[in-house]
Amino acid sequence: ERSILEGEQKLDYIEECIAKQEPWIRVLCLLCLQSLVGNGIKPTRYDMLRRDIVHAYGYEVVFTLDNLERLGLFKKKEGSSSWPTIRKAFKLIMDDVNPNDPADIAYVTSGYAPLSVRIIQLAINPGWSAGLERMKMVPGVTICEVRQPGVQPPEMVKTEKQESWKSGESGVKIRNKRKMVVFFTGGVTFAEISAIRFLNKQEDNPFEIIVANDGK
């Protein structure tokens, strides 16, 4: 996965996994990751992969492959990929990471920072408004909407107003942070949870991040 995220093509390796009948879910994950990073797979290679998959795992998987194509997760190539630009803009790959003394969320995978958590960092600092150009690179729609009258988005609230303090059991003052709820649709990985826990421990983070998701 790391090699694919860094821009390498691993289709030969994926074909080997199919030939060896490696676990079906593992093959699907690699295929979808390669397709998403490369904005699809070249048509001739795509057709060959589909054929090999059906031969190796049975015709039942055709429905799954069709659904993945419909969702845009496993598809034929459509122009150039924006992934290299996203990877650089969000600093997703960090080479010098010390898991024993981490200074960045990338430590959770020994060098790759989950994009979802980088977006959370962007929401905290500099905020949605200042980070809008970077958010435009990410597929999908970005919505910043304030529903409660008189409440400003996170980037509009001054840090000193976000900070309050309460007394702990020992009498020591504990920083009482504002709450930020992050909801993942489709589930959340352990790496993402670990990265968010790391953010919660940072003194310069004015929020306590609460994670919720609709997955199992």
- CA-CA distances (angstroms) from residue 5 to 1, 2, 37, 134, 184? 6, 5, 7, 18, 21
The pLDDT value recorded for residue 153 is: 56
From CA 106, how far away is CA 41, in angstroms rounded? 28
CB atoms within 10 A of CB 214: 10
Q: What is the rounded average pLDDT of the residues 32-55?
A: 95
The pLDDT value recorded for residue 20 is: 95
What residues contact residue 149 under an 8 Å CB cut-off, 6+ apart?
none
Q: Note the Cα 215 to chain centre separation in Å.
A: 15
Asked if residue 57 lies in contact with residue 24, where contact means CB atoms within 8 angstroms, the answer is: yes
From CA 21, how far away is CA 163, in angstroms rounded? 55
Output the six-digit token pair for 27: 């093959």
The pLDDT value recorded for residue 15 is: 96
Asked if residue 136 lies in contact with residue 130, where contact means CB atoms within 8 angstroms, the answer is: no
pLDDT(216) > 80: no
The pLDDT value recorded for residue 147 is: 64
The pLDDT value recorded for residue 152 is: 59
The pLDDT value recorded for residue 141 is: 79
pLDDT-derived band at 25 (thresholds 50, 70, 90) equals: very high
The pLDDT value recorded for residue 165 is: 47
DSSP strand pairing (164-167 vs 173-176): antiparallel
Tens-digit pLDDT profile for residues 50-59 = 999 999 999 9
DSSP strand pairing (207-213 vs 178-184): parallel
From CA 206, how far away is CA 204, in angstroms rounded? 6
From CA 26, how far away is CA 69, in angstroms rounded? 17
pLDDT(185) > 80: yes
The pLDDT value recorded for residue 184 is: 93
The pLDDT value recorded for residue 18 is: 96
pTM of the model: 0.77
Tens-digit pLDDT profile for residues 69-103 = 999 999 999 888 999 999 999 999 998 888 888 99
Let me know how many helices (H) and strands (E) the chain has, helices first: 10, 4
Q: What is the rounded average pLDDT of the residues 62-67?
A: 95
Task: Return the higher-pLDDT residue of 168 and 63.
Answer: 63
Output the six-digit token pair for 71: 């969702």
From CA 74, how far away is CA 26, in angstroms rounded? 14
The pLDDT value recorded for residue 149 is: 59
pLDDT(158) > 80: no
Output the six-digit token pair for 89: 């803009």
Tens-digit pLDDT profile for residues 110-149 = 899 999 999 999 988 877 777 888 888 888 777 777 666 5
Q: What is the rounded average pLDDT of the residues 150-157?
A: 53
The pLDDT value recorded for residue 108 is: 92
CA-based nearest residue to 205, from 135, 105, 131, 136: 105
